[in-house]
Amino acid sequence: MDVNLALSPQAIAFARLDSKPAVLAAVAGLMAAAYGIDREEVLENLEAREALGSTGFGRGVAIPHCRSKDVRRPSLALIRLEAPLDFAAADAQPVTLVCGLVSPENAGATHLHALAAISRLARDEAKLQMLAEAPDAEAVYALLTHQFERDAA
């Protein structure tokens, strides 16, 4: 199934962040810079979703996600953390890869399909290892665009 996930090279960063709030702020900042959406709205929506329960997926991956009136299709931001961070994940493992997702407000099934595509990536040990070893954001972008193109086929 084609999730039609937007991924901009400007939405990928390597960063040293020391708290979950700092991660959510960084995701909102990347979303605003890469996709021209309202940073404050995204941050508020990410924080509200996180308050419902941790989006720490497990296996070192977090998938903070929300919806926004400003996007037309699910949009992704990725942060590779330079140091592991406690994200209250279900498996209690610290997070090193953050996949932020913002979907349109009315994108029920589309949002779920986008989350499923990201979770497939998070369960792929080989792909996670390649992302962990990628030398720069350009290499991460190439890996991810290939992954999502393959999923859409």
Catalytic residues: 65
Give the list of residues 6+ apart from residue 31 with CB closer than 8 angstroms, or none. Answer: 11, 37, 39, 42, 75, 77, 100, 102
Structure tokens at 32: 């605003």
Residues whose CB is less than 8 angstroms from the CB of residue 93 and which lie 6 or more positions away in sequence, other chains included: 58, 59, 60
Inter-residue contact 15 to 28 (CB < 8 Å): no
